Structure 1
Amino acid sequence: MRVALPLQALGQGYSKFVIGFLVASFALLPALTALKFGRFTDRYGYHVPTFIAIALSLFSAVICFFSNSLPAVLLAAGLCGAGSGFGMITIQRTASRLVSSATQRMKVFSWVALAPAIGGSVGPVLTGGLADAFGFKAAFAALAVLPTLSLFAVLLVPANAGSATVEERQAAASGKTWDLLKITALKRILVINLLVVASWDVHSFALPILGHERNFSATSVGIIFSAYAGASLIVRGVLPFVASFLPYQWVPVIALSCLAVVFAVYPLLPAIWMLMTCAMLLGVVIGVLQPSIMSILNDASPVGRLGECLALRSTLNQLSLTLLPLAYGVSGGLMGVAGMFWSMSIALCLGVWLSLCVVRSQVPSEPRSF
Structure 2
Amino acid sequence: MPPKKAAKEEKILLGRPGNNLKSGIVGLANVGKSTLFQAITKCPLGNPANYPYATIDPEESRVIVPDARYDWLCEHYKPKSRVPAHLTIYDIAGLTKGASTGAGLGNAFLSHIRAVDAIFQVVRCFDDADIIHVEGDVNPTRDLDIIAEELRIKDIEFVEKALDALVKQTKRGGQSLEMKKMKEEQAIVERVLACLQAGKDVRKGEWGNKDVEVINGLLLLTAKPVIYVVNLSEKDYVRQKNKHLPKVFKWVQENSPGDMIIPISVSYEERLSKMEEAEGKAEEEKVGAKSALGKLVTNMRKELNLGSFFTCGEDEVRQWTIRNGTKAPQAAGVIHTDFEKTFIQAVMFKYADLVDLGNEADVKAKGKVQTKGKDYVVEDGDILHFKAGAAKN
Instruction: Judge same fold: TM > 0.5, yes or no.
Output: no
- Asked which structure has the greater RCO (Cα within 8 Å, sep 6+), the reply is 1
* Greater C-alpha Rg: 2
Between Structure 1 and Structure 2, the one with more helix by share is 1
TM range (shorter): under 0.3
Q: TM-score, normalised by structure 1?
A: 0.26
